[in-house]
Amino acid sequence: MKRKLRAEAGEKCANPGCPNYRTHIHHIREWAVYQSNDERHMIAVCPACHDAIHNGELHVDDTTLYQWKKIDRRGLPIRGHLYIEPSTMHKVLLGGLAVNTTKEATIFHFSPDNYLKYKIQAADVPLLDLCVTTEHGVKLLHVENNHILHAPIPEVQCLRRPGQICVTVAGKAMYLPEWAIRLMQIEEPSYAAQGEVTAAAVTTISPGVAKIEAAWAQSDRAIVITKRGVSFLSPRFQRPLSIIGKNENCGLYYAPQAGDVPLFGFDDNSHLKIRL
C-alpha cells in the first residue's frame, strides 16, 4: 500500500508546493476516529508537511488533500531539487579536480543533450546545468539551475538523499562503449568492474561546493569523471588523458572572455582542447 501511495504522489510529497521525496503516510480520515487503513483516504506527504498538517502550521482541509490525491502523475518523470548552500567561496569538483569561475562557465559541451555548466548568481548562489544522454537519445539525467529531472528507465537506478542525486546504469555496455571502459580500466582497474556505470552523481560537499562524478560518451569520444579527476577518451588514445586533483584546493580557475566557450572539448578530429 505504501508503494502504491508513493507512486500515486509521483514518488514525492503529494503537496504540489513541496519537492521532498521522503514520505510518510497521512490518514485524511483521522486514525484515532475511524481506525481504518483505507488507501482511498490516505496520502503520501513528506515528514515536514505531515508534521505541519497535524500541528496546524499547514492549513489544508480534507478537500484539498483529496484534490492532491487526484493529481495525475502517472508516467511523469521524477523531479527534485539539489540544494547547494550559498557561499562567496564556490567551486565545482570534477572528482578531485576543482574548477572555479567568476560568474558562468561551460565545463564542456558535447551536444545539446550532453553538457556540464556551472554558474554563480547574485554573487553567492551556485547553480548547475547538467545533461547526460545515451548514444540512442535516452536522457538519463537533466539538471537545470539545480532542478532535477529523471525519467524512470529499466536498468537505470536513481538514488536520492538531501544534497545528492546518483544515477547508475546496470549493464555497462548499455551506456559506455567497450573501448571507453577498457581505457578507463588501464588507470582505474575497478572502474565498471561490477557491471555498473555511474552515469551522473552530484553531491553538495560544503557551502558553495558541489562534486560531480559522471560519464558522457559519443561514438568516438568520451569524458569520464571519477573520484580521482577527469579523463578524456578516444578510440585512438592508448590510455586516458587524465587531469587528477590532489584535493579540492587543487584545480583550475576559468574566466571565459567572450561567448559560451567550453573549458574542455574535442575538435573535429577528436583531439582534446583545454582553454585556460
Residues 62 and 96 in one domain: no
Q: Rounded distance, CA 162 to CA 25, Å?
A: 20
pLDDT band of 276, cuts 50, 70, 90: very low
Residues 29 and 97 in one domain: no
C-alpha gyration radius of the chain? 22
Q: Which of 39, 46, 107 is closest to 80 using CA atoms?
A: 46
What is the extent of the structural domain holding 44? 2-76
Q: What is the mean pLDDT of residues 50-74?
A: 91
Residues 55 and 94 in one domain: no
* pLDDT at residue 154 greater than cutoff 90: no
Residues 110 and 145 in one domain: yes
Residues 206 and 87 in one domain: yes
Residues 52 and 14 in one domain: yes
Residues of the chain with pLDDT > 90, as a percent, come to 50
Residues 67 and 115 in one domain: no
* pLDDT at residue 270 greater than cutoff 70: no
Which of residues 43, 76, 109 is at a domain's end?
76
* pLDDT at residue 275 greater than cutoff 60: no
- Model confidence pLDDT, tens digit, residues 90-125: 899 998 889 988 788 899 898 899 999 999 999 899
Extract long-range pairs of 1-5: CB within 8 Å, 24+ residues apart.
Answer: 1/25, 1/37, 1/39, 1/42, 2/44, 4/39, 5/39, 5/42, 5/43, 5/44
Q: What is the mean pLDDT of residues 229-236?
A: 92
Residues 197 and 234 in one domain: yes
